[in-house]
Amino acid sequence: MEYIKKSKKTNKKNKKDNINQENQIKDNIQNDKVKYFLMIPLEKEDFIKTFNEMIQKLENEKPKEFDKNLLMKPQKLHLTLAVLDINEDKEKTEQIKSIINDLIPKIKEIINNEFIFNFDKYDCFDSIKKAKVIFAKMLEDENHYKLKKITNLIIKGLIKGNILLKDNLKNLKIFEEYSDGELIYTVKFHATLLNLKYLNRALQEENKNLEKKEFDASDIMECIKNIQFPECQMDKINLCAMREDQTNGKYEVLHSFNLL
């Protein structure tokens, strides 16, 4: 696995510039946007068991480019529905809750008392040779179509409520398509299994002056290709902050929308 060594500047002027830059970064962090996201938690025992079997296989076979720090924490496994790049504040959170709660009757009508979905193989962001994320793909069946309808409803509601801005949708990997003349907002449903940002975070915590921009996922994908994740039930959608809840190691849940 190849890493890029971050450059170090040693003269006094550059040291002063670095201190000023660090202070500016701290100020930016305090005022930065916290990404919220909507997801289906994947916390059933059989799903976690299969994930741990995948980890065991990777650790035993050690495919090229595999590093244990790439792995998602089991307690954080989820199917991502949409990312919301917004300023964190209670008023905005309450507005999102209100918009989605108003849509719950329509969502329940679509799922019709039960919603079981399955996974089909694996894929990568951005490409297999220059990967940043490896994820389990949702099987494109009737329930995939239903979830597209549900997500489209929610995204349209959030756009109408000025939570999501049309100009920023592509940055959030929300895309437009037309079906029978109707505008539909779509996302790539994915359950992240390995993510490069976890590895880079571990390197920073170890004070290593290294980072990795991408990795070749070919051997990892070959290693796990026959591992089949079990079917899952969608009984709720969680609105989460993209940070860890220190009490349980999961993503911080701001609100759960119960569907059954």
**What is the three-state SS of 84-140?**
EEECCCHHHHHHHHHHHHHHHHHHHHHHCCCCEECEEEEEEEECCCCEEEEEEEECC
How many helices (DSSP H) and strands (DSSP E) are in the chain?
6, 13
Tell me, what's the pLDDT at 201?
86
Please say whether the beta carbons of 84 and 95 come within 8 A.
no
Query: Whole-prediction pTM value?
Result: 0.84
List, for residues 69-95, the tens digit of each pLDDT value.
Answer: 999 999 999 999 999 877 677 888 999
The CATH classification number of 35-258 equals 3.90.1140.10
Can you give the residue ranges of every domain in the chain?
A: 35-258
Q: How far is CA 160 from the centre of its chain?
A: 24
* pLDDT tens digits for range 154-186: 999 999 999 999 988 988 999 999 988 899 999
Backbone dihedral angles phi then psi of residue 181, each to the nearest 5 degrees:
80, -5
**Does residue 17 surpass a pLDDT of 90?**
no
